[in-house]
Amino acid sequence: MHQHIAAGAAPLDQFSFPSGHTLHAVAFSIVDCAHYPALAIILLPFTLLVAASRMVLGLHYPSDVLAGALLGGLIARLSFLL
């Protein structure tokens, strides 16, 4: 971690890639919005805030959050095939 970044909370472990919080928020939001489109107005800001909070708190780099979002989107899309 960079010296000029102050973590807002202690990391749970030494690994940060990918952001699990972002992965789960994206996957949940995609699946939920597919079934209940009206919830998108609530879930989109929620998901963006979860992703932003990981970086603001200094717990993840932007690449960690992007990878989590991409994996969450992939997992959600794959769940529609089952």
In tens, the pLDDT along 27-42 reads 999 999 999 999 999 9
d(CA 42, CA 82): 26
pTM check: above 0.75: yes
Token digits of residue 74: 């992939």
CA-to-CA dists, residue 45 to 34, 49, 64, 65, angstroms: 16, 6, 19, 15
pLDDT of the chain along its 82 residues, tens only? 556 666 666 666 666 788 889 999 999 999 999 999 999 999 999 999 999 998 888 888 899 999 999 999 999 999 998 7
Residue 12 burial by Cβ neighbours in a 10 Å radius (0-12, 13-18, 19+) = exposed
Q: What pLDDT was estimated at residue 38?
A: 96
